[in-house]
Amino acid sequence: MKKFSLTALLIAAGLVFGLKTDAAGLGYIDYQKVSDAYPVAQQAIKEVDSKTLEIQQFMVDKEKQYKSLDTPLKKQNFEEQTARELKTKQDALMRLRAQKEELVYNKIQAATKQVLVEQKLDAIVDYRVIFIGGVDITDLVIQKLKSGQF
């Protein structure tokens, strides 16, 4: 999937360069750098990490309870119940992670679109597809996000 995504970005960059001979209308962004500097993204990571730690603690507690059981039937029932509870918690964690990633992505994308308009750029691509030229807008997007508009 990453290979396909990178190929698609390279093709898109090739089309942009083919249609426009000056690279002044092309911006590029380092998404990871923006995400790392964005407080909302950092808070989202903390929330997901906190839920992950809760699941780990849940398993530690269940292991202690399991050791105190004395019959094979009780152990089997306990294992089945614990497996169901764990699956529910893991599914909730995956939903939370997806929601937070989408929220952060949408906010970064909105800020990036605003910079695109303000800087009168034709397109913004990932920095990994730029070899020479273009305008790095990473810091401008970070400033937009930190301004509290998003």
What pLDDT digit, counting tens, does each position of 77-111 carry?
Answer: 999 999 999 999 999 999 999 999 999 999 999 99
Share above pLDDT 90 across residues of the chain, in percent, rounded to a whole number = 78
Name the nearest CA neighbour of 38 among 117, 105, 120: 105
Average pLDDT, the chain: 88
Return the pLDDT at 30: 97
- Dihedral of the alpha carbons of 106, 110, 115, 118, in degrees to the nearest 10: 170
Return the pLDDT at 86: 97
Return the pLDDT at 145: 95
Amino acid identity, position 134? G
φ and ψ at residue 115, rounded to 5 degrees: -65, -40
Residue 28 has a CB neighbour count (10 Å cut-off) of: 21
| pLDDT for 58 beyond 90 | yes
Residue 106, both tokens: 């949408």
Residue 19 — very low, low, confident or very high, per pLDDT cuts 50/70/90? very low
| Residue 42 CB partners (closer than 8 Å, separation 6+) | 36
DSSP-derived secondary structure for 17-51 = HHH-S-GGGEEEE-HHHHHHH-HHHHHHHHHHHHH
Residue 60, both tokens: 């530690």
What pLDDT digit, counting tens, does each position of 36-53 carry?
Answer: 999 999 999 999 999 999
Q: DSSP E strands: which ranges in the chain?
A: 26-29, 123-126, 135-136
